[in-house]
Structure 1
């Protein structure tokens, strides 16, 4: 019996670690992880080049290196994605000297939601999010432009007075985010991915562990949020969870 107990004391921790590693690295879902890339490369770009028709994308801008697409989830959600094959936050292409400023480009496309909605939408109701390598479902980089959850809006309003242009550790929605304020000119001056790598000292090999989000603060500053996936934990770094694709923040609907 003692021998069996000793063996269990060895085996159980090993199984626990193995299960945690599997959960951490397991794909988020079993569906085709290349669906978005196939749509971009085989339909949107080809259609734009051959027929000046970006469908099913709403826009193909090869000069600036991105497309926009109405997501199937939610009445207003859009995606901004690279024209090039860039899998996600782990891609070295995002830190290259000539990399497009994708978060700035996505923020500039937020008007799409208001156009779809049929009336203006306050920036305070909107947000951007990209999930980490471990929290995404597709192997083509995609930034979600969607509504912010009402409770997250309230939490950020409360936090706003203490937020500065220096990174701070803040618990938000049960996750340990790093947040700093940002001006719109700063957003457009430097890629948000490069800023995170530089200011937080993140090595290229670790960038894939990060999910990133952007929204506004009550005084019209922007808030840049970074969330790191954790080892042996339940954190896959999916800032998309801060969003509400049903856009209840806009209710009552017109």
Structure 2
């Protein structure tokens, strides 16, 4: 039985994996409950479902009709698509339109490769649109899980609200962070992350995949074990930037940086979330 509460599972697949696997007109008209039933257990059976969605539906449709559905957006020139997670109120997933299995892909470290993090940041307005009002800059973050902490073999950057815990843990450290890596335990009994500061109001040319790989030969040699988050923040003097966080999986730890996000968006509305 598919557990929709597992943070590493993009629950949008509960509705869309069936569409991708059928990729036919009648499938698009199926009742949503029927699609859910059809792909019950898809997590284990269809690790390529996200790839089928973006490749066989979204990019094909935008080429044929100009309509990116079921994606919210397809940018063929930029090489990415943005997909709504229909089970979680505010989350979107940014995916390459090329075949990029995950954080371990050498293509992400190639010179001139797309900066998918910058693209994810540029599309955070989709989260605001679903929430229904403007969102503070520092409230929306991004994350990619490790090979061990994911179920899909197509790279996807989670775009959603930053967790209140993560914001509080980082708040007192912002002024001391710089371009050099240090370590930080985000909360008690939580993972210890390597962290550094990226200056600027947007990521620009700073590509977290490359920054993590270039800083640590062990990480570069086995990027599949890494999990990365990019959390926007503002220092006390008003200087905007981002906190880049990297975690490494081992036999007892999956490395799921998505834990730094909150799919209920408590950061915006208090205890009840959105």
Following TM superposition, where does structure 1 have runs of at least 4 consecutive aligned residues deviating by more than 4 angstroms?
Answer: none
Q: Which residue in 1 is equivalent to 2:214?
A: 198
The alpha-carbon distance between structure 1 residues 228 and 203, as it changes in their structure 2 partners (threshold 3 A), is closer
Q: Which residue in 1 is equivalent to 2:111?
A: 97
Count residues with an aligned counterpart. 225
The alpha-carbon distance between structure 1 residues 100 and 199, as it changes in their structure 2 partners (threshold 3 A), is same
Tell me the distance in 1 between the aligned counterparts of 2:201 and 2:89. Answer: 30
Q: Which residue in 2 is equivalent to 1:226?
A: 246
Residue 238 (structure 1) aligned with residue 252 (structure 2): no
Tell me the distance in 1 between the aligned counterparts of 2:141 and 2:216. Answer: 22
Question: What displacement does 1:202 show?
Answer: 4.1
**Higher-RCO chain (CA-CA 8 Å, sequence separation at least 6):** 1
SS at match of 1:240: helix
Residue 69 (structure 1) aligned with residue 87 (structure 2): no
Q: Is the 8 A contact 1:127 1:148 kept in 2?
A: yes
Q: Which residue in 2 is equivalent to 1:150?
A: 164
Q: Which residue in 2 is equivalent to 1:187?
A: 203
- Which has more radius of gyration? 1
The alpha-carbon distance between structure 1 residues 156 and 203, as it changes in their structure 2 partners (threshold 3 A), is closer
TM normalised by structure 2 equals 0.77
TM normalised by structure 1 equals 0.83
Q: Which residue in 1 is equivalent to 2:95?
A: 81
CA RMSD of aligned residues (A): 1.9
Tell me the distance in 2 between the aligned counterparts of 1:67 and 1:60. Answer: 4
Q: Is the 8 A contact 1:89 1:133 kept in 2?
A: yes
Tell me the distance in 2 between the aligned counterparts of 1:147 and 1:141. Answer: 20
Unaligned segments of structure 1, at least 5 residues: 1-28
Structure 1 stretch displaced more, 153-162 or 33-42:
153-162
